[in-house]
Amino acid sequence: MTAPSTLLELAREVASGAGELLRRSLPAVAGGRLLAEGATAKSSPTDLVTEIDRASEALIVGALLRARPNDAIVGEEGSSREGSTGVTWVIDPLDGTINYLYGIPVFAVSIAARAAGRSVAGVVHNPLTGEMYAAAEGEGASLNGNELRLEATGRPLGEALVGTGFSYRAQTRAAQAQLLPTLLPAVRDIRRGGAAALDICAVACGRLDAFYEAGLEPWDLAAGEVIAREAGATVKVLEGLTAGAATVVVAAPGLEAGLVQLLERAASGEGLGPRAGVTSSR
């Protein structure tokens, strides 16, 4: 298989090009024009895709296949092809579409290379801030070339800043909300950025102590997962916290066990009465 570092360099180059497309297009989009004219619903009325998403994905797929024509592709906006090399590119051409449409500068291009069932290289690029998170398996993670390395701080869960996200589907959001009355009093605070790939990278660089979210798709997780792992964070998938959706938990060293226990207690409804539609993973 091609070295992860080689795949990473290609991902970095392609993400830069897609990020420039998003940056150039933003002035014509932000402020609501595409909310009325160029956005269509995907899984629900609040889950939107724009012409910019599609254009970004087309740019990424074209660039990857010019460089590696025999690789497989999985893209959020429908790009899909089988390959013969054992490498699959998993693409989110615009993570944080709603933020982008409203001009909120929290969105990113996310590109990962997967092989043998795991992410081996990935980049998450915010074109407005210029930040490029990157990692190759076994070679560490970086932010704009500066190494990311998390160390256990001994910080208790009660002092942890925790990120999360919510589904576009109203029923799933309602179940996710039922965790919050238990979670909020037990941590420093909760943040919701609106772009899962960036939230996962925020754990990798120490801006968040942990992150959890139910119902992430492969393209939401693939690049951030290898970046977080290589930075020293733990990545765990839990079943049963939210009905019908697995929950991804990303945590700085020393926080995973306590956060998982807290999430399981919240899902069980311990001390707060029954929670319809939510089952414990215990």
The span from the CA of 174 to the CA of 257, in Å, is 25
- Per residue in 249-271, pLDDT (tens digit) is 999 999 999 999 999 999 988 64
The domains of the chain are located at 4-148, 157-268
The residues that bridge with 40 in the sheet, in sequence order, are 49
Which pTM does this prediction carry?
0.89
- Per residue in 235-252, pLDDT (tens digit) is 999 988 887 789 999 999
Q: Which architecture, in CATH terms, is 4-148?
A: 2-Layer Sandwich (3.30)
Residue 30 contacts residue 50 (beta carbons within 8 Å): no
The phi-psi region of residue 72 (left if phi > 0; otherwise alpha if psi is between -120 and 50; otherwise beta) is beta
What pLDDT, on a 0 to 100 scale, did the predictor assign at position 282? Answer: 24
What pLDDT, on a 0 to 100 scale, did the predictor assign at position 49? Answer: 55
65-69, 129-133, 151-155, 229-233, range with the lowest pLDDT:
151-155
CATH number belonging to domain 157-268: 3.40.190.80
What pLDDT, on a 0 to 100 scale, did the predictor assign at position 40? Answer: 55
Backbone angles phi, psi at 125, to 5 degrees: -125, 120
- Per residue in 96-115, pLDDT (tens digit) is 988 998 889 999 999 999 99
- Token reading at 10: 């290609």
- The mean pLDDT of the chain is 88
| Model confidence at 52: pLDDT above 90 | no
- Per residue in 72-100, pLDDT (tens digit) is 999 988 888 999 999 999 999 999 988 99
| Model confidence at 204: pLDDT above 50 | yes
What pLDDT, on a 0 to 100 scale, did the predictor assign at position 39? Answer: 53
